[in-house]
């Protein structure tokens, strides 16, 4: 059921749960101060209770009601990056009403989404909205109302339609708790989950405003985070982002696969390499020319887009992955890509590293 912002706000105030748009992906929201509503989110998603939720706010002033006084340097960083696709891990005030949303952790992940409908909704509810991505746990995040209706339509109270998500990948998560400790001579920002905002954007602000801050990020987009970080980072402890149909590395194709239906994912710049390598595999396994030509013509190829426009790749990534489940095949293969080392390129690589097996 499609809801207006006013209708959705009333449902949230009465303890219901609704999907709503942000610039990253759609969120499945509940009043972050209502433990019973929070439990409904966990139940609707089949989400483990120890997997904390991001809390969405409409202003820094609203965030400040729930956390200790935000230090000056961090306040500058938050001001310059929000509203936007980045979330900040901060300490909670004692006995916080947000503890159900944080899975009992004494810290909270806060974010101000850059979407007018989301901001209007949060302000109308007049409480932060706790919202993980709008999808069944383990599946790809919903980036348009149609995806959410197919996945969660029967178990939620409605959807606020904001069209296709502009970014298409979940927000960056940065741990900023060291700003609040007295022993931090030079506070540290640790990137826990890559997204559209990364080291480059953070360093730009730090340098422009002459802030004494150190940044730590994983050595590679697929690197694991520490066990301590797992407990505070949504999605870190459990599989996520995956379609139901398994996706394997290109190198996993065997002779048996060549005679059964499968899907190939690739990016535009690698199209000729994909075709050449696939034909070589037919030859390697002694598939006759006539048979290989017939099989090749019947393979569904899904192009993720061009590296010249990785914004489009990110925006449509989950939609493309979910489309795989409509192909009626048992398996798919991803042709490896050298991704741009921009923040968004690293984020795409990170999400695919959790999808592609072997």
d(Cα 282, Cα 289) in Å, to the nearest integer?
8
- pLDDT, tens only, 119-154: 999 999 999 999 999 999 988 999 999 999 999 999
Give 232's pLDDT tier (boundaries 50, 70, 90): low
What SS3 state is found at 174? strand
- pLDDT, tens only, 157-211: 999 999 999 999 999 999 999 999 866 578 999 999 999 999 999 999 999 999 9
Mean pLDDT computed over 265-276: 96
Strand partners, 214: 188
Predicted TM-score (pTM) of the model is 0.93
Q: Give residue 106's pLDDT.
A: 97
Strand partners, 301: 264
**3-state helix/strand/coil string of 277-324:** HHHHHHHHCCCCHHHHHHHHHCCCEEECCCHHHHHHHHHHHHHHHHHH
- pLDDT, tens only, 35-93: 999 999 999 999 999 999 999 999 999 999 999 999 999 999 999 999 999 999 999 99
Written as six digits, the tokens of 231 are 């407990």
Length of the chain measured in residues: 358
Percentages helix, strand, coil for the chain, rounded to the nearest 5? Answer: 35, 15, 45
Give 223's pLDDT tier (boundaries 50, 70, 90): low
Mean pLDDT computed over 266-292: 89
pLDDT above 90 covers what percent of the chain? 81
**3-state helix/strand/coil string of 104-128:** CCCEEEEECCCCHHHHHHHHHHCCC
* Domains of the chain, first to last: 2-230 (3.90.870.10), 247-357 (3.40.50)
Mean pLDDT computed over 9-14: 98
Residue 21 has pLDDT above 90, yes or no: yes
């Amino acid at each position: 059921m499609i809801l207006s912002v006013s209708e959705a706000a009333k449902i949230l105030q009465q303890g219901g749960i609704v999907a709503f748009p942000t610039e990253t992906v759609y969120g499945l929201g509940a009043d972050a101060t209502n433990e019973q509503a929070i439990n409904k989110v966990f139940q609707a998603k089949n989400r483990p209770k120890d997997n904390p939720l991001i809390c969405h706010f409409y202003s820094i002033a609203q965030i400040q009601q729930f956390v200790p006084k935000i230090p000056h340097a961090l306040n500058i960083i938050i001001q310059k990056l929000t509203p936007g696709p980045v979330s900040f891990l901060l300490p909670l005030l004692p006995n916080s009403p947000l503890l159900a949303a944080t899975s009992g952790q004494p810290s909270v992940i806060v974010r101000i989404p850059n979407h007018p409908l989301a901001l209007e909704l949060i302000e109308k509810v007049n409480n932060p909205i706790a919202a993980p991505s709008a999808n069944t746990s383990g599946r790809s995040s919903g980036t348009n109302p149609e995806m959410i209706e197919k996945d969660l339509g029967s178990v939620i109270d409605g959807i606020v339609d904001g069209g296709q998500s502009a970014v298409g990948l979940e927000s960056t998560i940065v741990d900023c708790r060291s700003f609040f400790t007295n022993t931090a001579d030079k506070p540290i920002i640790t990137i826990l989950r890559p997204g559209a905002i990364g080291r480059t954007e953070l360093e730009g602000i730090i340098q422009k405003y002459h802030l004494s801050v150190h940044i730590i990020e994983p050595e590679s987009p697929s690197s694991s985070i520490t066990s301590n970080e797992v407990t505070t980072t949504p999605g870190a402890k459990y599989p996520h982002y995956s379609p139901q149909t398994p996706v394997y590395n290109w190198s996993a194709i065997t002779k048996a696969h060549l005679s059964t239906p499968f899907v190939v994912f690739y990016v535009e710049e690698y199209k000729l390499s994909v075709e050449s390598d696939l034909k070589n595999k037919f030859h390697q396994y002694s598939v006759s020319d006539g048979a290989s030509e017939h099989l090749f013509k019947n393979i569904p190829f899904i192009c993720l887009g061009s590296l010249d426009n990785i914004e489009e790749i990110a925006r449509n990534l989950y939609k493309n992955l979910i489309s795989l489940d409509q192909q009626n095949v048992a398996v798919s293969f991803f042709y490896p890509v050298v991704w741009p080392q921009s923040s968004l390129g690293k984020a795409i690589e990170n999400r695919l590293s959790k999808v592609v097996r072997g």
